[in-house]
Structure 1
Amino acid sequence: MKKSLVLASVLSLSCGFASAQVVVKDAWVRATVAQQKATGAFMQITAPRAGRVVAAKSPVAGVTELHEMSMENNVMRMRALPVLDLPAGKAVELKPGGLHVMLMDLKAPVAEGQTVPLSLTVEYADKSRETVEVKASVRGLGAATGGHDHH
């Protein structure tokens, strides 16, 4: 009896590793003000095996892109990224002033207390893909501003 329980436990654990999924934690979107057409989404993404985010989308925005902020010669620059690398088992932090998801051409303002749905497409070396559905809470304008608000 004990042997079969141990075997069942080992099998269930091994199945869990085989189907491990990308984990997204602490997802949030910065609230907007009237007439503001863009905002950022931030989160921690951990992939069980090396991969990369190849697409992001949200029904609240006409355009959703991966972006990076960086300092170059004392000037903050932002650029779109074609992909976002995810090293195996290591959290990648998207935060104000660094890597983030840009939500542009907003269809309506996003207000504190709302939830914004996002879909991230992760591709692995074997070309298999996983879609991660994220529910990001909207935080007020004072939330970790990081020095940039996109107007």
Structure 2
Amino acid sequence: MSERPPLPPFDHEGALRKVQAAEDAWNTRDPQKVSLAYTPDSVWRNRDSFVTGREAIVEFLTRKWERELDYALRKELWAFDGNRIAVRFQYECRTADGQYWRSYGNELWEFDDDGLMARREASINDVRILEQDRRIFGPRPDDERGLPFPIR
């Protein structure tokens, strides 16, 4: 099996790198690429959806990004211990009808020894916003890496 550094047990620097790598991957909006960070039998809870395995992850993300246009994400390390990382995040998108959304959430991640995510649990809340209220545009600029992202 191939390794996905950094590997558990995570130290602070490794956990930060893992979170930034996840943010970078999700901002590609490439379901196939994103799925490679997960074990072949990874288990997800995303809101009220339950997903198991890479193929299902690709299908889930394909549907997500067909619906959530102009998707842009920021993740922030919340806590870590051993092979687990907790993350808080925000993303913005628009739907086909032109409505913009900001979504706030928390994720719990569990990794295998090879650094692949075996479990992901996400709780997410959505807030309608106006286009002029958007704050997240594309991938994080280099000068913002590692900085917390304000709630409002």
Task: Check whether TM > 0.5.
Answer: no
Q: Structure with the greater relative contact order (CA < 8 A, sep ≥ 6): 1 or 2?
A: 1
Give the alignment's TM-score, normalised by structure 1. Answer: 0.32
Give the alignment's TM-score, normalised by structure 2. Answer: 0.31
Larger Rg: 1
More helix by share: 2
More strand by share: 1
